[in-house]
Amino acid sequence: MLKFVSNKGGGKPVDIETAILNGYAPDGGLYVPEQLPQLSFEQLEQWKNLSYKELAFELLSLFIDSSIVSAQDLKTIIAKAYGTFEKEEVIPIPKLKSRKNAYIMELFYGSTLSFKDIGLAFLVNLVDFFLKRKQKRLSIIVATTGDTGPAAANYIAGKSTLDAWVLYPKGMITEEQERQMTTLHHDNVHPVGVYNCPEGGDDLDAVIKQLYANQTFKEKVNLSSVNSINWGRIMVQTVHYFYGYFQIADKIGEEINMAVPSGGFGNLCAGGLARKMGLPVKTLIIANNKNACLNRIFKDGVFSMAPIHETVSSAIDILVPINFWRFLYFCVGKDAQKIKEWMEEFDKNRVVHFDEASFKSYKKGFLSGSVSDEQTMKVIKEVFEEEGYLLDPHAAVSLAVAHSLREEIGDAKIIFFATAHPAKFSKIIQKALGCESLPKAALHPSIERAKWQCQKGYTAEQAHLEAALLDAMENHWERNLK
C-alpha cells in the first residue's frame, strides 16, 4: 500500500487517511507519497478519452488504496464533488481564435468560480467521508488570498463533521470574494477578516503554523487544514494536467506547454509531479505578477522574501510558495534531511541560496517570468477586443508571461490556465476595459445574488490574531461541539 512521509523526514510513514486528516505532518513538514506512481505511454493512451470524472477516478486510485476507500465509495465522492459544477465536462478548454495554438483551460466552473473548487470540492467530501466513518469532527482552518477561503467555506457549509475558520486579509481581497464567504449563513462557517496584514495571506499562514505547534489546542479542537499544505489538494490537482493534455494533444507524446498563474506553487507542484509521473508536458511556465517569489527561485536559484506588492491579480500576491518544498523533495533524490535544513534555514534567515546541482535539477522543464499590472491589464483588453473573450486578471498574467518568453517557448500548443472567473474581479475588469458597465461575461448570478445578502463574520487585528482565534475557536468548540 502506498504510504506517505514528511518531506522533512520526521515521524513514521502513514496511510492516505492519516495524511489527509493531519494536514501538516507532525514534524511541521509536508506529506509526500513514498513513491510517485509511474505511467507508461500505453497507460496514458488508454486513458486519453476518459471524461474528467473517470480520469480523476483512475489517477486518484493510484494514491488512495482501495482498502481505505473502496472503488465504489471513491466514485461516489468524485460524483458528489463535481456533480455541482456548472459544466458537465467540469473543465472546458476552448481555443483562442486570435492567438496561434493557444487554449484556455477554464478551471472556474465550481461553486465559487475559481480553480480552488477543483481541489476543495473533492478534498472536503473525502475528509467528510473519513470523519463520518470515524464519528469525529474537525476544526478546519484556512488562510486565503481570496479564492481558497470561499471554496473551503462553500464546500464545508452544512457538513456535520466540520467547522471552517477562514482567515482573509481585510481589504486585500475583492468585495466579491469577501461576500462569497460572509454571505454563507451556515453555523459551521466562520469567516475572519484580519486587519493590518503587511505580508498579506502569508501573515495568516504564519499564525496557522503557530496554532498547529500548540499541541494542547490542536488536540482540544481537532485542528486540521485543507490549504494546499494538505497532500489531498496536490493529488487531485494532478488530474487537470492529464485531462488538459489529453484534450489538446493529437497523440500521446506531443509536446504541449502549459502556463500557470502561480503564487503558493500548489497548482504547479501538481503539474511538476504529473510530469514526473510520466505526463509528456513540455514546458511548465510559471507566471508570477510583481511578487516574483517563484521567478526568483527559478531564475536566480534563491528562495527569498521581498516586501509585498498589492497587484490586480491579488490571489497570487504571495511571498512564500510553500509547495515548492514539496516539489523540491522529488528533485533532490528525496533527501529529506536536505529539505529540513533548507526549510529551517528559510524560517530563520528568510533566504536560501540553492546549490548549483539542486538548482539545475528543479528548474528542468520550467520557465518563469513576472509581469506588471500594466502588462496584465493590456492583455485583458487586447483579448477582449480581438475576440470578445474575457480573461480574469490571473489568466491574463499567464498570457502576459508567456508573451514575454515567446522566443524561448517556441510555437508548440500552449494551454493557459484560467484559474478564476472574471466576475470575481469586476473593478479590475472595468478598469482594464475602460468601461462603466460590465460586459455580460463579467457577470455571474451567484456574485450578483451575494451583493444584496446580509454578511456575517468576525474581524480581528493581525497583531492579536493568535489569541483571538484561540479564544473564538475554543469557545465555539465548547459551546457547540463537545
The catalytic residues are 116
- Please give the size of the binding site for ligand PLP, defined by CB under 6 A: 19
Q: Cα–Cα distance between 75 and 64 in angstroms, integer? A: 12
Residues 265-294 interacting with ligand PLP (rule: CB under 6 A): 265-268
Q: Does 394 bind ligand PLP (CB under 6 A)?
A: yes
Instruction: Rule CB under 6 A: choose which of 315, 332, 377, 465 binds ligand PLP.
Output: 315
Tell me: does residue 106 bind ligand PLP (CB under 6 A): no
Per-position x/- string for 171-210, each x denoting binding to ligand PLP as judged by CB under 6 A, each - no binding: ----------------------------------------
Residue 420 within binding range of ligand PLP, rule CB under 6 A: yes
**Does residue 368 interact with ligand PLP by CB under 6 A?**
no
CA distance 231 to 414: 27
Binding mask 107-146 for ligand PLP (x = CB under 6 A): -------x-x----------------------------xx
Closest CA to 25 of 262, 245, 304, 329: 329
In whole angstroms, give the CA distance from residue 260 to residue 93: 14
- Specify the residue, 141 or 268, whose C-beta has the smaller distance to ligand PLP: 268
Q: Which residue's entry shows cell 488536540?
A: 219
Asked if 264 touches ligand PLP (CB under 6 A), the answer is yes
Q: For residues 17 and 106, which CB has a smaller minimum distance to ligand PLP in the complex?
A: 106
Helix (H) or strand (E) holding 143: strand 138-143
Taken in order 149, 105, 431, 440, the sign of the CA dihedral is: negative
Q: What nine digits make up the cell of 122? A: 473533492
Instruction: List the beta strands (DSSP E) in 256-374.
Output: 256-261, 281-288, 302-304, 351-353, 366-370
Nearest to 80 by CA among 50, 49, 124: 124
DSSP structure string for 195-217: E--TTTHHHHHHHHHHHHH-HHH
d(CA 8, CA 263) in angstroms, rounded, equals 22
Contact pattern from residue 228 through residue 257 relative to ligand PLP, giving x for each residue in contact according to CB under 6 A and a dash for the rest: x-----------------------------
Q: Which of residues 451-470 bind ligand PLP (CB under 6 A)?
A: none
Give the DSSP H or E segment for 466.
helix 465-476
Least gap, CB of 270 to ligand PLP (angstroms) = 8
Helix (H) or strand (E) holding 221: helix 215-221
By C-beta, is 224 or 262 nearer to ligand PLP?
A: 262
Q: Which of 17, 106, 147, 202 forms a contact with ligand PLP (CB under 6 A)?
A: 147
List interacting residues with ligand PLP (CB under 6 A).
114, 116, 145-147, 228, 261-268, 315-316, 394, 419-420
